[in-house]
Amino acid sequence: MRFDALASLPYRRFWLGSVASVGSTQLYFIAMAWLVFELSGSPLDLGLLGASMAVPTIAATLVGGIVADRLNRRSILLTTTAVAAVLLLLLAALDVTGVVRVWHVLVVSGLLGLVHGFDFPARSSIFPALIQPHQMMSAVALNSILWQGTRMILPAIGGILIALTDTALVFALCTLGFVAMMWVLRSIQITQDVRVVDKPWREFAEGGKFVFQRRLFRVLILLTFSLHFFGTSYVQIMPIFASLLQSGERGYGLLISVTGVGSVIGTFLVGRFQQSRRLGWVMLFSAALSPCALFGFALVTGVAAGAPAAFGLASLFVMLSAAFGSIFLVSSMTVLQLKVPDELRGRVMGIHSVTFSLIALGGLVTGALASAFNAPVAVAIGAAVLLTLVLWAMIRQREILALDGRRL
C-alpha cells in the first residue's frame, strides 16, 4: 500500500507528533504497572490499576464523541494532551521523591482514563480535516501501524529503561512526548463544521438498538467483548508472570512487546482470508485457538516456570494467542464496517471501540482470581470461559459461520 496520506503536510506533522504521544502512552502503561507491582506486589492492585483507567475511559467515551462533533477537535486534543503531560509530570515528581503510594498511581490512572475518553474520538475523527478523501485508507493504515508498531517496540525499551534507571525517568520522558505532541498540534490549522445534535442520547440509543436487534452484530460484539475481557486482560498482571519466570523488568517489557508482535502477525494474516468464502469459519476457529494458546501459557508459567526454556515457550504462547485473537478482531471489525449503514456506522463502531477498555477492566477480575488462587489459574479460568463462548457461537450462531468474504 502507498502511504500517500504522508504527502499531506498537516497529516504528516500529526502522525509524527502521534508517534511521541502514542509511544508515551505505551511507555507509561508499562511503568505504572511495574511501579504498582514494586509498591505492593499484589495481583489485585494490578487489576485495580487497569479498572481505574477503564471505567473512566468507558464513561468518558460515551460523551467524547458528542464533544468531538460539537467542539473543535484540535482544541480538544490540545487540552487532553496538556492534561496528560501535567498528570505524568506530577507522577514523576511523586516517584522521584519517594513519596508515591499505590493510591497515587490509581488516581492518576483514573484521570488519564478520563483524558483518553475524550482524546480518542477527537483523534479518530480529525483525519478528514488533514487529508484528501482518497488518502483515507492510507491514513487509517498508518494509524494502525503507529499503534501496533509502538506496542511492539516500546514495552521492551520501557522494561530496559526501568531496569537501568527507574520508573520516574520513564514518566518524565512520557511528559516530554506529550509536550512534543502539543507543539505539533499548535502548528496545525484545521477547519471543521461543527454539527449541532439536539438529542445526542437518542443517537446513542439508535446505535445500540440497531446492534442488539440483529443477531450477527450482537454476537460479533459479544465475542469481541469476551475476547478482550477474558482473553487479553492477563496483560494487566504481566509483572506477576515476569516474576514467576524470573525475568525481571526486561522480561516484563519483552512479554508485552511479544503480544504486539503477535497482533501484527495476525493483522497481516487477515489479508489472506478476507476474500475467503469460509471467512466465518476462519474467524471462529481463530477465536477458539486464542484461548487454547493461553492454556499453554498458563501451563508453562504454572508448572514449568523454572525450566530453561520457560520464558521462550511462554513468549511463544502469548504471541500465538495475540495473533489468533487479532485475526478475529480485525475480521469482525471489517464485517461491521461493511455491513452497517453509513449513517449508523460511527455509533456502532463507538460501541465496538468501548470493548478495548474491557482489557483493563477485565484485569480487575483476573487480579482478584490471581489473589484467590494464583496468576496461571486466573489465566486458565479466563481462557476456559472464552473458549466456552466461542464453542457456543460455533454451534448456535450459524450467521457467523455463513459469512462469505467475497460477498461483504
Q: Are residues 171 and 250 in the same domain?
A: no
Residues 80 and 180 reside in one and the same domain:
yes
User: Are both 81 and 40 inside the same structural domain?
Assistant: yes
| pTM (2 d.p.) | 0.82
pLDDT of residue 181: 96
* Contact by Cβ (8 Å): 279, 403: yes
Higher pLDDT: 152 or 302? It is: 302
178 and 231 both lie in a single domain: no
Q: Which pLDDT score, from 0 to 100, does residue 188 have?
A: 87
In this prediction, residue 201 carries a pLDDT of: 63
Q: 324 is in which domain, residue-wise?
A: 196-408
pLDDT of residue 2: 61
Residue 2: strand, helix, or coil: coil
Instruction: Kindly tell me if the per-residue pLDDT of 401 is higher than 90.
Output: no
pLDDT (mean) for 384-403: 87
How do residues 223-253 score in pLDDT, each as one tens digit?
A: 988 998 999 889 989 999 999 999 999 999 9
Amino acid 53 reads M
Give the model confidence (pLDDT) of 50-85 as tens digits.
889 888 988 887 777 677 777 888 899 999 999 999
Query: Which of 187, 217, 243 is the last residue in one of the domains?
Result: 187
Q: What is the pLDDT of residue 191?
A: 66
Return the pLDDT at 90: 97
Q: How many separate domains does the chain show?
A: 2
Quick one: 256 and 371 in the same domain? Answer: yes
CA distance 406 to 408: 6
76 vs 203, which has greater pLDDT? 76
Check residue 99 and give its pLDDT: 96
Residue pair 192/129 in contact (Cβ under 8 Å)? The answer is yes
How many Cβ atoms are within 10 Å of 212's Cβ, its own excluded? 13
Cell representation of residue 169? 525517568
User: Measured at the alpha carbon of residue 170, what is the angle toward residues 15 and 64, in degrees to the nearest 5?
Assistant: 50
Confidence class of residue 270 from pLDDT cuts 50, 70 and 90?
A: confident
Quick: pLDDT tens for 334-373: 777 667 675 565 566 667 667 777 777 788 899 999 999 9
pLDDT in the model for residue 257? 93
Lowest-confidence pick of 139-153, 296-310, 372-386: 139-153
pLDDT of res. 120: 80
The residue whose grid cell reads 469460509 is 278
In this prediction, residue 82 carries a pLDDT of 97
SS3 annotation, 67-90: HHHHCCHHHHHHHHHHHHHHHHHH
In sequence order, which residues have a C-beta less than 8 Å from that of residue 212 and are 6 or more positions away? 218
Residue 196 has a pLDDT of 55
Q: Which of 128, 153, 187 is the last residue of a domain?
A: 187
Q: What is the pLDDT of residue 140?
A: 67
Phi-psi region of 246 (alpha: psi -120 to 50; beta: other; left: phi over 0): left
- Which has more pLDDT, 218 or 276? 218
Do 341 and 312 share a domain, yes or no?
Answer: yes
- pLDDT tens sequence across 102-142: 999 999 999 999 998 888 878 877 877 788 877 766 776 67
> What average pLDDT does range 5-31 have in this prediction?
91
- Cell for 47? 487489576
Question: Are residues 229 and 111 part of one domain?
Answer: no
CA distance 137 to 168: 38
Q: Say which DSSP state 42 is in.
A: -
**What pLDDT shows up at residue 309?**
94
* Residue 154 or 137, more confident: 154
Average pLDDT (195-219) is 68
**Percentage, residues of the chain above pLDDT 90:** 49
Indicate if 170 and 203 belong to the same structural domain. Answer: no
Give the whole-angstrom CA distance, residue 261 versus residue 318: 10
What percentage of the chain's residues is helix, strand, coil (to nearest 5)? 85, 0, 15
Q: 214 or 310, which is more confident? A: 310
| Last residue within a domain, chosen from 138, 160, 187 | 187
> What CATH number does the domain containing 176 carry?
1.20.1250.20
- Mean pLDDT (the chain) is 86
The answer on pLDDT for 1 being more than 70 is no
Same-domain status, 16 and 82: yes
Query: Looking at the structure, do residues 368 and 281 belong to the same domain, yes or no?
Result: yes
Q: How many other CB atoms are found less than 10 A from the CB of residue 189?
A: 8
pLDDT higher than 70, residue 193:
no
The single-letter DSSP state of residue 355 is: G
Say what the pLDDT of residue 109 is.
96
Residue 378, C-beta contacts closer than 8 angstroms, at least 6 positions apart: 43, 234, 237, 366, 367, 369, 370
Largest CA distance in the chain: 63
For helices 43-70 and 9-40, give the axis angle rounded to 10 degrees.
150
Whole-number pLDDT of residue 382: 96
For residues 245 and 165, membership in a common domain is answered with no
Same domain, 108 and 207: no
